[in-house]
Structure 1
Amino acid sequence: MTQNDHLQGVYTIMPTPFTQSGDLDLSSLDNLVDFQLSAGIHGLAILGFLGEAHKLSGEERRAVIRRTLERVDGRVPVWVGVRAIGTPASIEQAREAQDLGADAVFAAPIDVQADAAIFRHYQQLQAALSVPVLIHDFPENFGITISPEVVARLGKEGGVHYIKMEEPPVGPKTSRILNLAEGSVHVFGGLGGTFFLEELQRGAVGTMTGFAFPEVLLRIYDLFRQGQHAEAARVFDHYMPLIRYEFQPKLGLALRKHTYFRRGIIASDHVRAPGLNIDSRTAQELEAIVRRVGFQFGVGGPQELIK
């Protein structure tokens, strides 16, 4: 298969902004899109787990897709998350996103722990669409494990050529998928960027994650692609304290929203229930780490990285 240049690089999985009272905040969504584009992001992914898609009404979901695509205006690809109980409902969500203009969808598995059912689900989903389907492999949140053998079979026989792979240990599974797939599947990393360097070293074509300083991931990716592997590692190591702290189980979304709020990009860091918000001590810890790595809050645009 020929590599599609649109399906590689650093894609930000965006949070969905709400007002402090919990209503959808489309003005902040505009600001968030503008910031990502100014940072040089390769693409945007909306309505994933980080985007609180499972907490939105159908009309809110459509409003987020429409507004994002309108604001992006074709400048970068936009991928839309799909998650439903069964294949027909997943197809319905995916077709809606496609009809509204999405460039691809990233789809959670159905709630059946059986290789044949997982294969059939993704095969049927891709067959129903004209845009690419990415497998979203995130057992910690979805409760389903997708084997490398199924992923490789989907690449060779099912027409599904991309996976957002978030099952630790990410290195061995990435290698196993790529070895079995023989060029028919391309791997994107995730998990907050915590293993981004190792994912690239194993052959990943990029990452899809919500880290709220995307300029860091872009620098690492660019350096690595240019063959400056030692420099990419230096940048990765320098910012790891912030990457690590932000990607805390159960609290990562709140930390990312708070970061975008403190950066002046969204108007509120509200997380819809059920979901944790951060306390003042955690906010102080986050701010200290942001300063420690050389960034600052209160600056709305992309920031300079270490030289």
Structure 2
Amino acid sequence: MTDNKHLQGVYTIMPTPFTPGGEVDLDSVSNLVDFQIEAGIHGLAILGFMGEAHKLSGRERRAVIARVTERVAGRVPVWVGIRAIGTPATIEQGIEAQELGASAVFAAPIDVQADAAIFRHYQQLQAALEIPVLIHDFPENFGITVSPEVVARLGKEGGVHYIKMEEPPVNVKTTRILELSDGQVHVFGGLGGTFFLEELERGAVGTMTGFAFPEVLLRIYELFRGGDHQGAARVFDHYMPLIRYEFQPKLGLALRKHTYFRRGIIASDHVRAPGANIDPVTVAELERIVRRVGFQFDVTGPQAVRA
């Protein structure tokens, strides 16, 4: 299996850019990759739920994976989201991602609420791949709960050592997983970064989320890992109004896309149906908050973070 020591830090879940007419915009994909790497992110995650993977055709999925891995050119790891009805189809998606250059996959659970079935699904998926598998634990969208006991068993017996954990209360579950797994499972946070500081304090190795100002998450991570926990808290507290506003249910993706669009990184903020687009009043609210925390929309590259 690929060396997985690099699986830590801030991994940006990239949205999938579309043209105003709704076609996949590969040029904007390239621009978004370049921006994230310039910002200093530790890795990229594509085709997650916020990447609208469930709205893409198989051909479009392959095109996005190929463009991202080609543009990254080995500079950072690329993780690919996979989700299918059953284990064989999930394995097929995983092998495809691996062949197209993915460094790891993050996989939704099988659609069966049974511990034995969930364990078997992830164990078989990892056995079929040469790259690491991360459990994507997001019951609000997947409808399946992955218990801490199953996660710990997968770490000890199933060869699966990572989880993107997005089941509130996230901090309680993070602690439980780490207690049960005896160091065999490493936790990444998510949920827009809304609990990033507390996740780090509980022992998470990083975060995997799509906040459209990754500079902030990177600064929090760097300060915390450097031992300046108070500094990390100051940055977290300062930018929380923007983190909170962007992670609104049903609107989060549209807000992120609009931010990248206004920053000049992608050519359109189009969200494919049935996803929601945002109205002018919401746009004005977002722009006020961005200015309030000290950022600007007319700066294309990474911006300085207040500590």
Q: Same fold by TM (over 0.5)?
A: yes
Q: Return 5+ residue gaps in structure 2 as ranges.
A: none
Structure 1 CA distance for aligned equivalents of residues 305 and 12 of structure 2: 18
Partner in structure 2 of residue 56 of structure 1? 56
Q: Return 5+ residue gaps in structure 1 as ranges.
A: none
Partner in structure 1 of residue 270 of structure 2? 270
- Give the Å deviation of 1:6: 1.1
Which residue identity does 1:249 align to in structure 2?
Answer: P
SS in structure 1 at match of 2:48: coil
SS in structure 2 at match of 1:289: helix
- Give the Å deviation of 1:112: 0.4
Structure 2 CA distance for aligned equivalents of residues 142 and 131 of structure 1: 23
Structure 2 CA distance for aligned equivalents of residues 253 and 113 of structure 1: 28
Query: Stretches of 4+ moved more than 3 A in 1?
Result: none
Matched, 1:259 2:259: yes
Structure 2 CA distance for aligned equivalents of residues 92 and 5 of structure 1: 25
- Give the Å deviation of 1:4: 3.9
TM alignment of 1:275-286, pairs within 5 A: 275-286=275-286
Structure 1 CA distance for aligned equivalents of residues 71 and 156 of structure 2: 36
Partner in structure 2 of residue 144 of structure 1? 144
SS in structure 1 at match of 2:12: strand
Which residue identity does 1:234 align to in structure 2?
Answer: R
- Give the Å deviation of 1:221: 0.1
SS in structure 1 at match of 2:33: helix
Please give the per-residue CA displacement for 1:155-201, whole angstroms capped at 9, x wherever unaligned.
00000000000000011100000000000000000000000000000
Structure 2 CA distance for aligned equivalents of residues 8 and 73 of structure 1: 19
TM-score normalized with structure 1 length: 0.99
Structure 2 CA distance for aligned equivalents of residues 233 and 305 of structure 1: 13
SS in structure 1 at match of 2:51: coil
TM alignment of 1:166-245, pairs within 5 A: 166-245=166-245
Which residue identity does 2:207 align to in structure 1?
Answer: T
SS in structure 1 at match of 2:49: coil
Structure 2 CA distance for aligned equivalents of residues 207 and 239 of structure 1: 16
Partner in structure 2 of residue 98 of structure 1? 98
Q: Percent identity?
A: 83
Kept in 1: contact 2:10–2:221 (CA 8 A): yes
Kept in 1: contact 2:4–2:132 (CA 8 A): no
Partner in structure 2 of residue 301 of structure 1? 301
Please give the per-residue CA displacement for 1:226-252, whole angstroms capped at 9, x wherever unaligned.
000000000000000000000000110
SS in structure 2 at match of 1:50: helix
Superposed CA RMSD: 0.7
Total equivalences in the alignment: 305
Matched, 1:246 2:240: no
Structure 2 CA distance for aligned equivalents of residues 246 and 127 of structure 1: 37
- Give the Å deviation of 1:144: 0.4
Structure 1 CA distance for aligned equivalents of residues 94 and 232 of structure 2: 36
Partner in structure 2 of residue 33 of structure 1? 33
Please give the per-residue CA displacement for 1:40-87, whole angstroms capped at 9, x wherever unaligned.
000000000011000000010000000000000000000000010100
Partner in structure 2 of residue 9 of structure 1? 9
Structure 2 CA distance for aligned equivalents of residues 201 and 235 of structure 1: 15
Which residue identity does 1:54 align to in structure 2?
Answer: H
Structure 2 CA distance for aligned equivalents of residues 252 and 127 of structure 1: 35
Please give the per-residue CA displacement for 1:97-144, whole angstroms capped at 9, x wherever unaligned.
001110000000011000000000000000000000000000000000
Which residue identity does 2:259 align to in structure 1?
Answer: T
Structure 2 CA distance for aligned equivalents of residues 253 and 43 of structure 1: 20
TM-score normalized with structure 2 length: 0.99
Structure 2 CA distance for aligned equivalents of residues 298 and 17 of structure 1: 19
Structure 2 CA distance for aligned equivalents of residues 305 and 204 of structure 1: 22
Please give the per-residue CA displacement for 1:4-33, whole angstroms capped at 9, x wherever unaligned.
431000000000000000001000001000
